[in-house]
């Protein structure tokens, strides 16, 4: 009986071992089947997708960095250009201001020369009624002086008239205003230029605007130039010499 028990026990052990081996085999096969359900290609695809996503993120980061850098460079260049333009504008303004300042300091050489020539070759005119004198160019030696009454606001006008090409050419008139207020109204209007004040009278002059129509004909070209010179160039110099006597 002991031998039989031993055999039975041995058989049971063998059966138990076989059963355990079968269970392990089944579990092992189950694990292999479970692993086999995820093919290697799927892992490769997933890995590639992950790499592409990471690369996309990296590319976007690089693009943003380059774009920010380019924008920064453009802003800096615009800033530099603006600063240079501001400096150039300021320098231009300063140069123009300095030039005007220097021009203001230096007398007009052209007018100075003309005044000196006029003083050397001039005719002294002293008005017979009003206390003023003028220096007239030699070309004015035959100029006629006429006294006229224009309106109630002026006592009188001293008019200088030249004869050119057989025509009477008005050059300029000096007005003696009895009312300073009326004189200033005429001066502020722009046609008259103030010369001075004395004994309740305000003196101002007006220059002729143009020569007589006749002198604009082709045959009077020389005479027209002479009249224009006397009106445009001589009159301002003559009036600059206006001096009130004490």
**Could you write out the DSSP letters of every residue in 136-180?**
EEGGGTT-EEEEE---TTEEEEEEEEEEETTEEEEEEEEEEES-H
Q: In Å, what is the CA distance from 110 to each residue of 69, 74, 235? A: 61, 53, 16
Q: Whole-number mean pLDDT of the chain?
A: 74
- Which residues in 210-219 are b (16+ Cβ under 10 Å) and which e? ebbeebeeee
Task: Give the N- to C-terminal CA distance of the chain in Å, as an integer.
Answer: 176
Beta strands at 154-164 and 167-177: parallel, antiparallel or unpaired: antiparallel
Helix (H) / strand (E) element for 202: namely: strand 201-207
Is the whole model's pTM more than 0.95, yes or no? no
Q: 118, 137 in Cβ contact below 8 A?
A: yes
Residue 100 has pLDDT above 90, yes or no: no
Q: 114, 236 in Cβ contact below 8 A?
A: no
pLDDT for res 12? 46
pLDDT for res 8? 41
Q: Cα(94)–Cα(98) distance, rounded to whole angstroms?
A: 6
Instruction: Report the range out of 26-40, 41-55, 67-81 with the highest average pLDDT.
Output: 67-81
Q: Cα(155)–Cα(158) distance, rounded to whole angstroms?
A: 10
Q: Cα(128)–Cα(126) distance, rounded to whole angstroms?
A: 6
Report DSSP state, residue 231. Answer: I
Q: 154, 171 in Cβ contact below 8 A?
A: no
Q: Cα(136)–Cα(126) distance, rounded to whole angstroms?
A: 10
How does residue 67 score in pLDDT terms, banded at 50, 70 and 90? low
Residue 3 has pLDDT above 70, yes or no: no
Residue 68 has pLDDT above 80, yes or no: no
Quickly count: other Cβ atoms within 10 Å of residue 226's Cβ. 18
């Amino acid at each position: 009986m002991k031998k039989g028990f031993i055999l039975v026990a041995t058989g049971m052990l063998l059966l138990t071992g076989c059963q355990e081996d079968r269970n392990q085999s089944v579990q092992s096969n189950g694990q292999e089947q479970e692993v086999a359900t995820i093919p290697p290609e799927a892992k490769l695809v997933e890995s590639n997708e992950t790499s592409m996503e990471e690369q996309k993120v990296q590319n976007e980061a690089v693009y943003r960095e380059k774009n920010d850098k380019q924008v920064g460079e453009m802003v800096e260049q615009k800033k530099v250009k603006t600063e240079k333009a501001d400096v150039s504008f300021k320098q231009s303004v300063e140069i123009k201001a300095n030039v005007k300042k220097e021009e203001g300091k230096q007398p007009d050489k052209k007018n100075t020369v003309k005044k000196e020539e006029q003083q050397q070759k001039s005719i002294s005119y002293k008005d017979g009624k009003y206390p003023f004198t003028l220096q007239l160019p030699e070309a004015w030696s035959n100029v006629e002086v006429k006294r006229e009454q224009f309106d109630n606001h002026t006592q009188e006008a001293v008019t200088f008239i030249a004869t050119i090409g057989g025509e009477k050419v008005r050059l300029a008139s000096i007005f003696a205003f009895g009312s300073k207020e009326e004189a200033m109204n005429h001066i502020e209007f722009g046609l008259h230029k103030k010369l001075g004040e004395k004994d309740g009278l305000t003196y101002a002059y007006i220059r002729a605007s143009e020569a007589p129509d006749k002198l604009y004909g082709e045959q009077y070209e020389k005479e027209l130039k002479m009249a224009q010179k006397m009106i445009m160039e001589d009159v301002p110099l003559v009036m600059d010499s206006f001096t009130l006597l004490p």
